[in-house]
């Protein structure tokens, strides 16, 4: 004796999570979200997700059809007359729109034949590290460098094919650039692996470049180093990199500057710093010294009573502003150098001086309150 099993089907609106008066766009958006979430390709082997995908596909198939929706709204599932899921719940045009984010351009929904994609490729950028002297970074210069880059093959003129022979139609994809196969009710197209999507292949490659279309050559270029560059500065020369393939644009050349340190000067932005040793008599009595700068010798006046560590600013003797007018300053810090070896006469003079010049050898640190007062004074 057979027994009839009554199965209660879920409400289509509840399956999609929309109101009964939902618009076509709201239905499509709801279905699209659920289909992307539960599609079998994203949930391999998950039976629950597969069933949910079938449910939401069936619900969208009915509710997206005006006649079926009207019958369902009036009579429920009984109004469909046994019509259920028929495979593809949407037209070919809707499929690309709904699954666009999931599969990108894997689906070819227009029905037309896609010919081979362009093989045009931009050339790679080339980097060249150039070491320059400290003075060259300050004042600038021109430098001639030799770089290795890929250039269009002169024998085949960049085609990659032997002279007089052009590319042939790819036998794997018949020139379409794509290989199509069926997965369920989806028609999926993927880039042809044999021709890389170009639709053509080189059957008789150029001997000079072995079908590459480019050969590596040494190239000489004059680099203009502007005044004021810093260590790590990159100078870009557009189109001086590797040649593109199949008519593509060339890449760029980036010259990266490495600046050697200086013996005496250190750079801080556009200012230069140096340390000048002076003797105790010079600091105490004052003097005028000759200071060597990157621009040549200049006079620096050391006033009477100069303390060790005091800094003097010489304006306009620093680094030129990059691509602008003006220069930074040179800051010279004076350090009083104490002699380590004295003659007897010098010792006697210093002892005599020590009786006339006294300094209280007590700590000079100030309280925190004094420092706070100084900050706000």
For the chain, 377 residues long, give each residue's pLDDT as a single digit of tens: 434 344 467 888 888 998 988 888 888 888 888 888 887 767 777 888 888 888 888 888 888 888 888 888 877 777 776 554 454 544 433 444 455 444 544 444 444 444 444 567 788 999 999 999 999 999 999 999 999 999 988 888 877 888 767 777 888 888 888 887 765 555 677 788 777 777 778 778 888 888 888 889 999 999 999 999 999 999 999 999 999 877 788 999 999 999 999 999 999 999 999 999 999 889 999 999 999 899 999 999 999 999 999 999 999 999 999 888 999 999 999 999 988 888 999 888 888 887 887 666 666 555 544 554 554 44
Structure tokens at 235: 């100078």
What is the fold, at CATH topology level, of the domain defined by 266-376? Answer: HSP40/DNAj peptide-binding domain (2.60.260)
Residues 6+ apart with CB under 8 A from 28: 60, 64, 94, 97, 98
Q: Under CATH, which number does the domain 12-102 receive?
A: 1.10.287.110
Query: Where does the chain hold its CATH 2.60.260.20 domain(s)?
Result: 266-376
DSSP 235: E
What residue spans in the chain does CATH classification 1.10.287.110 cover? 12-102
Helical spans, DSSP H, in the chain = 12-16, 24-38, 47-63, 66-75, 92-98, 100-103, 134-139, 280-285, 344-354, 368-376
3-state class (DSSP) for residue 267: strand
Strand stretches in 79-153, DSSP E: 126-132, 141-152
Which of these, 171, 164, 172, 247, lies nearest to 204 by C-alpha position?
164
């Amino acid at each position: 004796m057979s027994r009839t099993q009554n199965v209660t089907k879920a409400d289509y609106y509840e399956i999609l999570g929309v109101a009964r008066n939902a618009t076509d766009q709201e239905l499509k958006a709801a279905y699209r979200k659920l289909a992307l979430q539960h599609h079998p390709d994203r949930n391999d082997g998950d039976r629950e997700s597969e069933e949910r995908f079938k449910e939401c596909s069936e619900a969208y198939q009915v509710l997206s059809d005006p006649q079926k929706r009207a019958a369902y709204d009036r009579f429920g599932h009984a109004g469909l007359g046994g019509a259920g899921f028929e495979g593809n719940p949407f037209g070919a045009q809707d499929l690309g729109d709904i699954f666009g984010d999931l599969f990108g351009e894997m689906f070819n929904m227009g029905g037309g034949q896609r010919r081979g994609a362009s093989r045009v490729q931009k050339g790679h950028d080339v980097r060249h590290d150039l070491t320059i002297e400290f003075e060259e970074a300050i004042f600038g210069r021109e430098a001639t460098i030799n770089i290795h880059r890929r250039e269009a093959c002169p024998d085949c003129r960049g085609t990659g094919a032997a002279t007089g022979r052009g590319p042939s139609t790819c036998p794997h994809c018949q020139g379409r650039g794509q290989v199509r196969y069926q997965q369920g009710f989806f028609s999926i197209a993927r880039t042809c692996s044999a021709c890389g999507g170009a639709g053509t292949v080189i059957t008789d490659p150029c001997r000079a470049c072995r079908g590459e279309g480019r050969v590596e050559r040494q190239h000489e270029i004059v680099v203009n180093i502007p005044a004021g560059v810093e260590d790590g500065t990159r100078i870009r020369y557009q189109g001086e990199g590797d040649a593109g393939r199949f008519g593509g644009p060339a890449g760029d050349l980036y010259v990266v500057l490495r600046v050697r340190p200086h013996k005496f000067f250190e750079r801080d932005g556009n200012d230069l710093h140096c340390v000048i040793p002076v003797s105790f008599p010079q600091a105490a009595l004052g003097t005028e010294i000759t200071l060597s700068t990157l621009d040549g010798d200049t006079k620096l006046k050391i006033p009477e009573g100069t303390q060790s560590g005091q800094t003097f600013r010489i304006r306009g003797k620093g680094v030129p502003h990059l691509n602008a007018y003006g220069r930074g300053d040179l800051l010279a810090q004076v350090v009083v150098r104490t002699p380590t070896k004295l003659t007897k006469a010098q010792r006697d003079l210093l002892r005599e001086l020590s009786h006339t010049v006294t300094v209280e050898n007590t700590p000079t640190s100030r309280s925190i309150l004094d420092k706070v007062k100084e900050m706000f004074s």
